Structure 1
Amino acid sequence: MSQNQEPINPKLPDPALVTRTMAEVAERGQRIVADFLKRQSEETPSPDPFNIGSAFMEMTTRLMANPARLMQAQIGFWQDYLTLWNSTARRMLGEQVAPVISEPKGDRRFKDDAWRENEVFDFIRQSYLLSARYFVNAVQGAEGLDPKTAQKVDFYTRQFVDAMSPANFLLTNPEVLRRTAETGGANLLKGLSNLLADLERGKGRLRIRMTDDTKFKVGENIAVTPGKVVFETPLMQLIQYSPTTETVLKRPLLILPPWINKFYILDLRPKNSFIRWAVEQGHTVFVCSWVNPDETLAEKGFEDYMTEGVLAALEAIEKATGEREVNAIGYCLGGTLLATTLAHMTARKDNRIKSATYFVTMTDFEEAGELGVFIDEEQLKSLEDKMQKRGFLEGAEMATTFNMLRANDLIWSFVVNNYLLGQDPFPFDLLYWNDDSTRMPARMHSFYLRRMYQQNDLVKPGEIELLGTKIDLRKIKVPSYMISTREDHIAPWKSTYRGTQIYGGPIRFVLAASGHIAGVVNPPDSGKYSHWVNEQLPPSPDDWLTGATEMAGSWWPDWQRWVTALNSERVPARVPGSGALPAIEDAPGRYVRVMATD
Structure 2
Amino acid sequence: MSQTSQEPAPGAAEPVPGRALDRALSAMQAQTTMGMSPRSAAAAWADWLSAAARAPGLQREWAERAWRNQWRALQGLADPALGFQPEPGDRRFDHEAWDQWPFRAWKQSFLAAQDWWGFATQGQRGMRKRSAERVNFMVRQMLDMASPSNNPALNPKVLQATAESGGLNLMRGAGHLAEDAVAELAGVPKQSETFEVGRTVATTPGQVVYRNDIFELIQYAPQTETVQPEPVLIVPAWIMKYYILDLSPKNSLISYLVEQGFTVFCISWCNPTEAQRNLSLDDYRARGVMAALDAIGRICPDTRVHACGYCLGGTILSIAAAVMARSNDTRLASITLLAAQTDFSEAGELMLFVDEAQVAYLEDLMWAQGYLDQKQMAGAFRVLRANDLIWSRLIRRYMLGEEEREFDIGAWSDDTTRMPYRMHSEYLRGLFLENRLTSGRFAVDGRVVALSDIAAPMFVLGTEEDHIAPWRSVYKVSLFTDADLTFVLTSGGHNGGILSEPGHPHRSHRIGHRAPDDHYADPDTWFQQHQPQEGSWWPVWADWLTARQAGAPVVPPPMGAPEAGLPPLDPAPGRYVLQR
TM-score, normalized by length of structure 2? 0.90
Partner in structure 1 of residue 37 of structure 2: 49
Deviations 1:327-353 (A, max 9, x none): 000001000011000011111111111
CA distance in 2, matches of 1:261, 1:197: 25
Aligned in 2, Cα 1:42/1:245: closer, same or farther, shift over 3 Å?
A: same
CA distance in 2, matches of 1:513, 1:411: 24
Residue 578 (structure 1) shift: 6.2
Partner in structure 1 of residue 496 of structure 2: 518
Partner in structure 2 of residue 25 of structure 1: none
1:140 is aligned with what amino acid? Q
Aligned in 2, Cα 1:41/1:487: closer, same or farther, shift over 3 Å?
A: closer
For the Cα contact (< 8 Å) 1:249–1:569, is it kept in 2? yes
Residue 146 (structure 1) shift: 0.9
CA distance in 2, matches of 1:42, 1:546: 48
Match of 1:153 among 130, 135, 151: 135
2:557 is aligned with what amino acid? R
CA distance in 1, matches of 2:171, 2:28: 32
Residue 181 (1) aligns with residue 136 (2): no
Secondary structure of 1:322's counterpart equals coil
Residue 354 (structure 1) shift: 1.3
Aligned in 2, Cα 1:332/1:378: closer, same or farther, shift over 3 Å?
A: same
1:119 is aligned with what amino acid? W
2:55 is aligned with what amino acid? N
CA distance in 2, matches of 1:193, 1:547: 54
CA distance in 2, matches of 1:169, 1:575: 60
Partner in structure 1 of residue 244 of structure 2: 265
Aligned in 2, Cα 1:196/1:71: closer, same or farther, shift over 3 Å?
A: farther
Secondary structure of 2:82's counterpart equals coil
Partner in structure 1 of residue 386 of structure 2: 407
In the alignment, structure 2 segments of 5+ residues that lack a partner are 1-23
Residue 219 (1) aligns with residue 198 (2): yes
1:105-116 equivalence runs, <5 A: 105-116=88-99
Partner in structure 2 of residue 71 of structure 1: 60
Partner in structure 2 of residue 303 of structure 1: 282
CA distance in 2, matches of 1:275, 1:42: 40
Residue 403 (structure 1) shift: 1.1
Partner in structure 1 of residue 6 of structure 2: none
Aligned in 2, Cα 1:75/1:204: closer, same or farther, shift over 3 Å?
A: farther
TM-score, normalized by length of structure 1? 0.87
Deviations 1:292-331 (A, max 9, x none): 1001111000111112111111111122223431000000
Residue 42 (structure 1) shift: 8.6
Residue 218 (structure 1) shift: 0.4
1:464 is aligned with what amino acid? F
For the Cα contact (< 8 Å) 2:26–2:365, is it kept in 1? no
CA distance in 2, matches of 1:578, 1:227: 14
CA distance in 1, matches of 2:58, 2:204: 60
Residue 246 (1) aligns with residue 235 (2): no
Cα RMSD over matched residues? 2.2
Deviations 1:447-469 (A, max 9, x none): 000000000001123x2222344
2:322 is aligned with what amino acid? A
CA distance in 1, matches of 2:490, 2:129: 28
Residue 263 (structure 1) shift: 0.7
CA distance in 2, matches of 1:279, 1:204: 41
Residue 159 (structure 1) shift: 1.2
CA distance in 2, matches of 1:237, 1:565: 29
CA distance in 1, matches of 2:333, 2:479: 20
Partner in structure 1 of residue 21 of structure 2: none
Secondary structure of 2:89's counterpart equals coil
Residue 582 (1) aligns with residue 560 (2): no
Secondary structure of 1:525's counterpart equals coil
Deviations 1:503-546 (A, max 9, x none): 12111111111111111110112243100122356331001111
Aligned in 2, Cα 1:119/1:44: closer, same or farther, shift over 3 Å?
A: closer
Partner in structure 1 of residue 119 of structure 2: 137
CA distance in 2, matches of 1:306, 1:590: 21
> May I ask how many residue pairs the two structures share in their alignment?
546
The share of aligned pairs that are identical, in percent, is 39
Secondary structure of 1:526's counterpart equals coil
Aligned in 2, Cα 1:230/1:364: closer, same or farther, shift over 3 Å?
A: same
Residue 575 (structure 1) shift: 4.3
CA distance in 1, matches of 2:407, 2:529: 38
Partner in structure 1 of residue 270 of structure 2: 291
For the Cα contact (< 8 Å) 1:63–1:143, is it kept in 2? no
For the Cα contact (< 8 Å) 1:243–1:575, is it kept in 2? no
Residue 391 (structure 1) shift: 0.7
Match of 1:497 among 453, 475, 478: 475
For the Cα contact (< 8 Å) 1:249–1:570, is it kept in 2? yes
Secondary structure of 2:336's counterpart equals strand
For the Cα contact (< 8 Å) 2:47–2:128, is it kept in 1? no
For the Cα contact (< 8 Å) 1:319–1:579, is it kept in 2? no
Partner in structure 2 of residue 325 of structure 1: 304
Deviations 1:562-581 (A, max 9, x none): 11111253110234246642
Secondary structure of 1:521's counterpart equals coil
Deviations 1:77-111 (A, max 9, x none): 233323332442x45xxxxx623111122212122
Residue 476 (1) aligns with residue 436 (2): no
Moved more, 173-182 or 246-255: 173-182
* Bigger RCO (CA 8 Å, 6+ sep): 2
Match of 2:147 among 158, 162, 165: 165
Residue 439 (1) aligns with residue 418 (2): yes
CA distance in 2, matches of 1:569, 1:193: 61
CA distance in 2, matches of 1:486, 1:360: 10
CA distance in 1, matches of 2:526, 2:27: 52
Secondary structure of 1:416's counterpart equals helix
Aligned in 2, Cα 1:272/1:547: closer, same or farther, shift over 3 Å?
A: same
CA distance in 1, matches of 2:250, 2:558: 23
For the Cα contact (< 8 Å) 1:191–1:420, is it kept in 2? yes
CA distance in 2, matches of 1:576, 1:99: 67
For the Cα contact (< 8 Å) 1:224–1:588, is it kept in 2? yes
Residue 122 (structure 1) shift: 2.1
2:577 is aligned with what amino acid? V
For the Cα contact (< 8 Å) 1:527–1:554, is it kept in 2? no
For the Cα contact (< 8 Å) 2:27–2:361, is it kept in 1? no
Residue 192 (1) aligns with residue 174 (2): yes
Residue 68 (structure 1) shift: 3.5
CA distance in 1, matches of 2:71, 2:523: 42
Partner in structure 2 of residue 361 of structure 1: 340
Aligned in 2, Cα 1:453/1:42: closer, same or farther, shift over 3 Å?
A: closer
Moved more, 194-203 or 377-386: 194-203
CA distance in 1, matches of 2:388, 2:429: 29
2:491 is aligned with what amino acid? A
Residue 120 (1) aligns with residue 102 (2): yes
Residue 255 (1) aligns with residue 244 (2): no
Secondary structure of 2:430's counterpart equals helix
Match of 1:101 among 78, 84, 99: 84
1:375-414 equivalence runs, <5 A: 375-414=354-393
CA distance in 2, matches of 1:192, 1:41: 35
CA distance in 2, matches of 1:587, 1:204: 30
CA distance in 2, matches of 1:136, 1:83: 16
Deviations 1:236-282 (A, max 9, x none): 00000011100001101000000000111111111110000000111
CA distance in 1, matches of 2:319, 2:499: 24
CA distance in 1, matches of 2:27, 2:313: 33
Partner in structure 2 of residue 592 of structure 1: 577
Match of 2:445 among 467, 475, 482: 467
Moved more, 67-76 or 342-351: 67-76
Residue 41 (structure 1) shift: 12
Residue 141 (structure 1) shift: 5.1
